[in-house]
Structure 1
């Protein structure tokens, strides 16, 4: 069946009722840049998610195939992503796994629109509970998630900043063969605009990225603020062809990349315990100790109820990301 994908088994599902509740929300989404969920079917102990069919391929593949690619092209792509994510945030939905592999082209047409897909880690913001599960994809995850702090929709804005960075140079802002050093970079928000790869990129683009890849989520741009930045809303994005440099770096750094692998709370807590990073990061407000997930905030649901964000199954171990071949 076109567009049908097998969902989690009954044992893997966090809460079947919550999945159906979330289905009801996703079913109401009407945005041109978001893959629609048409329905969910239950059969043989499995859930089948019937999604809108998109056939244009992944973002990186399309960029590599192009013969001409500019900052302005990247700006238009990011505009579509920001507009769609703002729509989700206005509905109270946090995607939590934004990355280039989840950005698909609707069709093979040259001017095809981009579509956000894969809501497997998405959550509805609940006034009675805090988002706390450490999930996402290594390299795109926000510092506050790795620091085991309660977080918000600002984590999506950080991920968009990482995507924008990659679209302009072809390699990730954080990279190391050693997981401990990778996490340290992200936790400190340490990244550079390396020469010569950023020499021809506008100061406006760099300013845009700095505002999204801001360590403090309270100071980080929201989608609405990012949409008003001159690099998106104005004419500061350059028209110089950067295809050769960007496509070469994409092919070197993301071929057979392990960046696609997602992780969850169990995996990241296990790694942070091993790497002894957890104790060096103080959480704000209510935080979790090693191997312990956050409980509902005071004044929330009664003790013992599930806050939907803490019922996770053990997932795959984090894989080291590929270092950029600069």
Structure 2
């Protein structure tokens, strides 16, 4: 254990575990506040790609941490064998846990979550960063129930003149242009957020198969459907936003900023038309 870390924080119980390390709750000896400590065992990093992902995350978090819906980075400690990252403690269940233990969300609840998520994504994009792995597991909540976008291990920098490449992401949520091996832009995050919205409103993802390969084929087809049994009670406005986010034509797909200006988001998921507000 890093000596400087031990002098500044008391490590408590394990609260999470990943491929390369463990997340602990920790307490600052200075402030008495509770934080999360992500301890990564560098000896488990098998290749240059793994090392790049691990080293990139704190740099990206440092660039983005001034937004209320992005996980805040506080300190980084490193010794020969470990990298320790001190961040916000998100002690409430993540979105994945919420969606697997309860019925689909109401439109007002889903709109509130999407508003915070789109705000975080727009902040990333304004700073030239694409998350590239938007999914419920990476949408955390702190003790005040404030959404925090987390896990930037797959994130990448971009600018207006260069595109990104490489197949990254999670099968159900990844955009079709990624799977097709094409170069792509930051709107891959909007597709993934659209899949998250679809899941919040229905309880299942729009594209799936029995195997990863079948799921990829369904994503590439991108045939967006709204089964009547489930979507009968979902508003026209919500379905309109879903079509504009889960859109195969990237030139027509919404940006994160456009999501925030959509009537369904502005009205907080209420199914009133804009004319009803005048």
TM-score relative to the length of structure 2: 0.76
Give the secondary structure class of the aligned counterpart of 1:197.
helix
Which of residues 70, 95, 100 in structure 1 aligns to 2:131?
95
Is 1:180 matched up with 2:180?
A: no
CA-based RMSD? 2.6
Is 1:56 matched up with 2:92?
A: yes
Note closer, same or farther for the CA distance 1:11–1:179 as it changes in structure 2 (3 Å cut): closer
Is 1:26 matched up with 2:53?
A: no
Quote the Cα distance in structure 2 between the aligned partners of 1:15 and 1:229: 38
Give the secondary structure class of the aligned counterpart of 1:115.
strand
Contact 2:105 2:201 in 1 (8 A): no
Greater RCO structure (CA 8 Å; 6+ sep): 1
Tell me how many residue pairs correspond in the alignment. Answer: 236
Note closer, same or farther for the CA distance 1:236–1:179 as it changes in structure 2 (3 Å cut): closer
Give the alignment of 1:120-269 within 5 angstroms.
120-125=153-158, 130-234=163-267, 237-238=270-271
Q: Where does the alignment leave 5 or more consecutive residues of structure 1 unmatched?
A: 240-326
Note closer, same or farther for the CA distance 1:92–1:119 as it changes in structure 2 (3 Å cut): same
Contact 2:58 2:85 in 1 (8 A): no
- Cα drift, residue 192 of structure 1: 1.0
Between structures 1 and 2, the one with greater helix share: 2
Give the secondary structure class of the aligned counterpart of 1:196.
helix
Between structures 1 and 2, the one with greater strand share: 2
Quote the residue 1:80 is aligned against: 116
Contact 1:205 1:237 in 2 (8 A): no
Quote the residue 2:31 is aligned against: none
Note closer, same or farther for the CA distance 1:49–1:11 as it changes in structure 2 (3 Å cut): farther
- Cα drift, residue 210 of structure 1: 0.4
Note closer, same or farther for the CA distance 1:135–1:65 as it changes in structure 2 (3 Å cut): closer
Give the secondary structure class of the aligned counterpart of 1:56.
coil
TM-score relative to the length of structure 1: 0.66
Over residues 136-189 of structure 1, what are the superposed CA-to-partner deviations in whole Å (9 max), with x where a residue is unaligned?
Answer: 001100000000000111000000000000000100101110333322221121
Q: Which moved more, 1:222-231 or 1:187-196?
A: 187-196
Over residues 289-323 of structure 1, what are the superposed CA-to-partner deviations in whole Å (9 max), with x where a residue is unaligned?
Answer: xxxxxxxxxxxxxxxxxxxxxxxxxxxxxxxxxxx
Quote the Cα distance in structure 1 between the aligned partners of 2:267 and 2:222: 27
- Cα drift, residue 117 of structure 1: 0.9
Quote the Cα distance in structure 1 between the aligned partners of 2:123 and 2:230: 33
